[in-house]
Amino acid sequence: MRVSAAEDAPIAIVGAMHEELAALLAAMPDEQAETVAGRQFWRGHLEGRPVVVVLSRIGKVAAATTAAVLLARYGVRAVLFTGVAGGLGDGVAVGDVVVARELLQHDMDASPLFPRHEVPLTGIARFAADAALADAVAAATQEVLAALPTHLPAEVQAEFALTQARLHRGLIVSGDRFVATAAESAALRADLPDALAVEMEGAAVAQVCHDWGVPFAAVRTISDRADDAAHADFGRFVARVASPFSAAIVRRALARL
Ligand code: SAH
């Protein structure tokens, strides 16, 4: 990972929903909260590394606001987003984990002034994740998936049919819509055939980190297939599967940095 600030600057861990971060906060021995812009920023240590953990809330603006505070006020040296997403790519199943190589805002469209999906005046449609940070997160994910029974009780694995959970790496797309119909999901796949997963924050945080020149990575557990059944069991999946996955992956990734 490119070190953009002092080695002892904190690493930011950002999630969109409380359940995703609950297990991480529980593992921080010395966490202290400070409220900025209505959000609680938890400072402390995980795996001996200084961290700031924060709930971004849902959507691109909420995520970008959170990222700007992390960068301007806390001087974080890297940002890692963890959460859930809808699977778009073939074979990207519920319980699989996607680590982003690139992130794009699927609802950005200033055409014909700018090419579709390009963020005006940046010349960029696809923001790259930091390769070294993403590699550390991917390696941590492989470890967690290879030891599934140590992270999830057998009945939770059975309930969500999680025996074959796999890691995927590639494009994650973000937009201000919960994609919950087969028609919308098919339209996204037609527009962006290499998109693996859809969510509502990642590409916004990637853009802000790009502006600051700070490394960014994103890891998402697939909670649904972004189709007509996307809302079913969503809350339960987040609490029972995504939360322990997030915590285990983030801790292992931090230990590698
Ligand atoms: N019913 C939930 C709604 C959460 S919105 C609630 O009550 O809290 C969905 C969140 O998960 C967003 O943060 C988004 O990033 C991610 N996500 C999961 N599946 C998604 C999908 N199919 N489309 C868009 N975002 C999705």
Active site residues: 20, 224
The predicted pLDDT at position 90 comes to 94
Give CA–CA dist 8/25, Å, rounded.
20
The binding-site residues of ligand 1, defined as CB within 6 angstroms of any ligand atom, are 16-17, 58, 83-86, 178-180, 198-201, 223-224, 226, 230, 234
Tokens 């991480």 sit on residue: 24
112 upstream amide cis, omega within 30 of 0: yes
Nearest of 221, 240, 205, 33 to residue 130 by alpha carbon = 205
Give CA–CA dist 188/197, Å, rounded.
10
The predicted pLDDT at position 16 comes to 83
State the distance from the centre of ligand 1 to the C-alpha of 180, rounded, in angstroms. 9
Residue 188, both tokens? 């996204």
State the distance from the centre of ligand 1 to the C-alpha of 2, rounded, in angstroms. 31
| 85 CA: nearest ligand 1 atom | 18
Q: pTM of this prediction?
A: 0.95
Give CA–CA dist 54/39, Å, rounded.
7
- DSSP class of residue 46 equals E
Per-residue CA distances from 147 to 39, 153, 202, 245, 250 (Å): 34, 12, 27, 11, 15
Give CA–CA dist 38/111, Å, rounded.
35
Give CA–CA dist 53/223, Å, rounded.
22
Work out the number of other CB atoms within 10 angstroms of the CB of residue 160.
18
- For all residues of the chain together, what is the average pLDDT? 94
Name the helix (H) or strand (E) containing 14.
strand 11-15
The predicted pLDDT at position 6 comes to 58
Name the helix (H) or strand (E) containing 139.
helix 131-146
Give CA–CA dist 218/130, Å, rounded.
10
State the distance from the centre of ligand 1 to the C-alpha of 85, rounded, in angstroms. 7
| Residue 94 Cα to chain centre, angstroms | 15
Ranges of the chain whose pLDDT falls below 70: 1-7
The predicted pLDDT at position 5 comes to 47
- Tens of pLDDT along 109-163? 999 999 999 999 999 999 999 999 999 999 999 999 999 989 899 999 998 888 7
State the distance from the centre of ligand 1 to the C-alpha of 199, rounded, in angstroms. 6
Q: Which of 82, 84, 205 to mutate to test ligand 1, by most ligand atoms within 8 A of the CB atom? A: 84
Contact between 209 and 111 (Cβ < 8 Å): no
